[in-house]
Amino acid sequence: MQVPQIRLQQTYAQTGLRITQPVQEIEQLPAELSIKQVPATMNIDHKPYHLDINQEQMWNELNFKSNSVFSEDMAEFARQEGFEAIAEKSQEGDQMAAIEKKTDAIDAIVTSKANPGPAETIIAFIPSEGSVKINYTPPELNIDWKKGGAEIEVTPHKPNHTYTPGKTEVYLRQMQSLQIDFVGGNINTKS
């Protein structure tokens, strides 16, 4: 005997998607930049050094005297020698006038002139220390800066932005179905 069967055949519904991608465009223009440079200034004030060397005293000590100094020295020397000669003659006159002492004044005068005492000896360094005068003024350097500067102007530009949104469409790709088959035997559908 054949048993009647019910066969079911089912197909599921299928959906599909149509996707349009979004489009975004960004264009950025560069900013405009203006720079104005004001230069710095520099002033330099320079005073040179000054060196004075005075060798007059050294040359005088070495007997390399100028005419005016030589004349003055000779005049002073002559004056001093004259005063000393006057003093000596005055002293000799005083010795000769002192007859009351009963001394031989002429013999004493001649003896002192014939046998003078030892010469006075002086050791000296010629020229003497410090006979050359040196005066030095160092140089001066003054630097004066004045800062410049920069003036900067910026003009920004906004970006150009374009946006096209995307879309998604849903559609039915396949319809669902259910098929029912009766197999094997006759089924009385009438009651």
Please tell me the predicted confidence (pLDDT) of residue 191. Answer: 54
List the structure tokens of 74.
């000779």
Q: Is the pLDDT of residue 1 over 60?
A: no
Is the pLDDT at 186 greater than 90? The verdict is: no
pLDDT score of 169: 92
Q: pLDDT higher for 67 or 3?
A: 67
> Would you state the pLDDT for residue 64?
87
**In this predicted model, what pLDDT tens digit does every residue of 147-185 receive, in sequence order?**
888 889 999 999 999 999 999 999 998 999 988 887 776
Residue spans of beta strands (DSSP E) within 49-139? 50-54, 133-137
DSSP state of 4: P
Instruction: Considering only CA atoms, give the Rg of the chain.
Output: 68
Q: Please list the helix, strand and coil fractions of the chain in percent, rounded to the nearest 5, in that order.
A: 25, 40, 35
The string of pLDDT tens digits covering residues 14-46 is 999 999 999 999 999 899 999 999 889 999 999
